[in-house]
Amino acid sequence: MRHIKIFDTTLRDGEQSPGVALSVPQKLEIAHALARMNVDVIEAGFPITSQGDFDCVHRIAKEVRGPVITGLARTSKGDIERAAQALDIADKWRIHTFTSASKVHLEFMLKKTPEQVLEITDNMVRYARTFCDDVEFSAQDVMRADFEFVIQVFNAAINAGATTINIPDTTGYGTPLEYGALIKRIQLEVVRGRDVAISTHCHDDLGMAVANSLAAVENGATQIECTINGIGERAGNTSLEEVVMALATRGDYYQAQTQLNTKEIYRLSRMVSRHSGMVVQPNKAIVGDNAFAHEAGIHQDGVLKNKSTYEIMSAEMVGREAAVLVMGKHSGRAAFKKALEDLGYDLSGSVPDHGLTEESVNALFVRFKELADRKGAIGAEELRALVETRDSSVPETFKLESIQVLSGTHVIPTATVTLETPEGPQQHASSGDGPVDAAFKAINALTKVHPTLESYRIEAVTEGGEALGEVSLRARVNDVVYSGNGLATDIVEASARAWLEVVNSAIAQVGVKKEAVTAI
Ligand code: KIV
Ligand code: ZN
C-alpha cells in the first residue's frame, strides 16, 4: 500500500470561498482538529496578504503540533520572506510557492513570457530553499496550459530544489483520463525517479475534482490537496472526506492509504460548516444528512437484516454514530462526560485552548441541564450540537442571562434582554419587525455593537416538534464578517445567542473591552 499524504487547505483555499471569513479562534480550532485527525500537511494561510493572515499562520505554526504547517507565497522574494517569518516557529514547516502555467495567465495576469516564468521559478525556488528544506512548487492552470511548458516549468522547479511539485487544475477543466495521463507524463519525464513528491490540487467546476485527484493517485501522485466539505474558490476543491473515504473503502483497488483517523471526519465537517456558514447539502457523500439514511422500504428491510446490503462503509467509520444513549435531566456529570467521550470528544485536556477542558465541560454541563430541564431527553445529535455551538475560544464579554419576548398577530414585537456585562447585569427592551429583530436590537443597545445581518439560517437539530433549534448566522462589523451559532429550545433565544457570539467575536477581534466597545 502506498502512503498518500493529505494536504488540507481549508484554511487557505477553503477560506477563499465567496463570502467566507474565518476568525483567528475559528481557524485555530479547525487547525487543532485537523491535527487530531492526523492530516499530513495544513496550509494555514497566505501570510503576505494581510497582517491578520500572517498572525494567524504564525499562531498555528506556534501551537499546532503533528502536521507540517505551510503557507502560500507567490514566486517573489517578499512573499517568500513573509511566509518564512510566519512559519519558522513551527516544528515542521514548508514554503509553498506558486506561479502560473497557462498562456492566458501568463499574458493577462503575470504579464511575463514563458522564458521569464522559467527564470523566476528557478530563482525563487532556490530562494525558498535558503529558508527551508521543504519547498513545494505549484504552477496554476495546468490543464489549459501547453503541456510542453508544464514539463519545463516543473523541471525547472525540481532542478532548483523543490521537494514537492503540485499540479493544480485551477479552473477544474480537466477530465480524469486527461489529468491522470498528465500526472503519468510528469512522473516519467520530470520526476524520473528523483525523490520528489507529486501532488494534486483540483477544483470542482465540472464536478470532477475528486475523480481527478483519484486518477492522479492511480498515476503516481502521493499527495492530495483538499478541503473539508470541498469548500474553496467558486465550485470548491477536492473534498477531503470523499477522497479519504474512497481510499479507505477502495484500498483494494487503489493499493494506497492515508494515515487519517476517519472517525474525526464528521465532527470536522460540522465544525467547518458552522464556522464558514456554508451548509452541507443533504445528499453530499459521506457527510450529508442523507448519506447513511435509507428511505425505500426494500432498502430499509435489507439494512435491518444486514447493513452491508446497501452500505459500503459504516457511519461509525466517519464518526457519525456514537453509542450514546439518550441523556436527561437526571443524568449526572460522569454520565455526561462519558457520553461526550463516546461522541469522540477529547476530554484529556491535552489541547488546552481548543479541546474540551474541565472548565468547558462544566459550562457545557450547566447548559445541558438547562436544556434537559426544558426539553426532557437529549439525544446524541443534540449533544453534539450543544458542543459544536459552544463558543469555544471567544471570550464572553457579554453573556445572555434571560430573554422575554412578546409577539403575535396584533402586537408590536418586543424583546426584553438581560445580559451579564462587565458592569454587572443590565436589561433593555426593544421593539422590532419581529421578535428576533427586537432581540437583536436590545442586544445592540446593551453592547453598543451594531452588526449588520448578512445571512440567517435556522434548523431543527433532530426530527420532530420537540427538536432543539440551531441558528447559524453571519453578520458584518466594521467590514469583517463573523459567524455566530446558537442552540436552544426557543428559536428567539437561539438567535440571541448566535447574535451575541458575533458581538463577542467582534470585541475579541479588535482587542477591546467594554470602554472601547462604542468604537466598533
Ligand atoms: O487553484 C490553484 O491553482 C491554487 C494554487 C495556489 C495552488 O490554489
Ligand atoms: Zn486552488
In the chain, CATH 3.20.20.70 covers 2-276
**CATH architecture for residues 399-519:** 2-Layer Sandwich (3.30)
Q: For residue 482, give the amino acid letter.
A: Y
The class that CATH gives domain 2-276 is: alpha beta
User: Would you say how long the chain is, in residues?
Assistant: 520
Position 293 pLDDT exceeds 90:
no
Gap from CA of 97 to ligand 1 centroid (Å): 10
- Look over the chain and give the mean of its residue pLDDT values, rounded to a whole number: 90
Ligand nearest to the CA of 137: 1
Position 431 pLDDT exceeds 50:
yes
The rounded percent of the chain whose pLDDT value lies above 90 is: 67
Position 393 pLDDT exceeds 80:
no
Look at residue 358 in the predicted model and tell me its pLDDT. Answer: 84
State the angle between helix axes of 265-276 and 240-249 in degrees (0 to 180), rounded to the nearest 10.
Answer: 170
* Assigned C-alpha cell, 358: 474541565
Look at residue 89 in the predicted model and tell me its pLDDT. Answer: 98
State the angle between helix axes of 24-37 and 51-63 in degrees (0 to 180), rounded to the nearest 10.
Answer: 30
- Answer for the pair 69, 32: CB distance below 8 angstroms, yes or no: no
Closest CA to 415 of 391, 432, 390, 398: 432
How does residue 105 score in pLDDT terms, banded at 50, 70 and 90? Answer: very high
- Bridge partners of 226? 8
Q: If you average pLDDT over residues 494-516, what whole number do you get?
A: 77
| Residue whose CA lies nearest to ligand 1 atom number 8 | 13
**410: CB partners within 8 A, 6+ apart:** none
Q: 158-162, 306-310, 420-424 — which is least confidently predicted?
A: 306-310
Report helix, strand or coil for 367.
helix
Q: For residue 362, give the amino acid letter.
A: N
Gap from CA of 193 to ligand 1 centroid (Å): 25
Position 283 pLDDT exceeds 70:
yes
In the chain, CATH 3.30.160.270 covers 399-519
Closest CA to 467 of 390, 386, 404, 364: 386
CA-CA distance, 288 to 274, in Å (whole number)? Answer: 14
Look at residue 514 in the predicted model and tell me its pLDDT. Answer: 36
Look at residue 489 in the predicted model and tell me its pLDDT. Answer: 85
Position 28 pLDDT exceeds 90:
yes
Ligand nearest to the CA of 223: 1
Most ligand 1 atoms within 8 A of CB, residue of 13, 15, 16 to mutate: 13
Q: Is 232 in the pocket of ligand 1 (CB under 6 A)?
A: no
Position 181 pLDDT exceeds 90:
yes
Look at residue 121 in the predicted model and tell me its pLDDT. Answer: 98
pLDDT digits (tens, 9 = 90+) for 322-362: 555 567 778 888 888 888 887 778 787 665 445 678 888 88
How does residue 392 score in pLDDT terms, banded at 50, 70 and 90? Answer: low
Burial state string for 405-429 with b = 16 or more CB within 10 A and e = fewer than 16 = bebeeeeebbbbbbbebeeeebebe
Position 295 pLDDT exceeds 90:
no
pLDDT digits (tens, 9 = 90+) for 39-53: 999 999 999 999 999
Q: Please give the residue that has the higher pLDDT: either 13 or 345.
A: 13
* Assigned C-alpha cell, 175: 477530465
Look at residue 325 in the predicted model and tell me its pLDDT. Answer: 57
- Answer for the pair 191, 222: CB distance below 8 angstroms, yes or no: no
Describe the strand order of the beta sheet including 424-431 as a list of residue ranges. Answer: 399-406, 414-421, 424-431
Work out which ligand 1 atom sits closest to the CA atom of 166: 7
Q: Is 170 in the pocket of ligand 1 (CB under 6 A)?
A: yes
pTM: 0.82
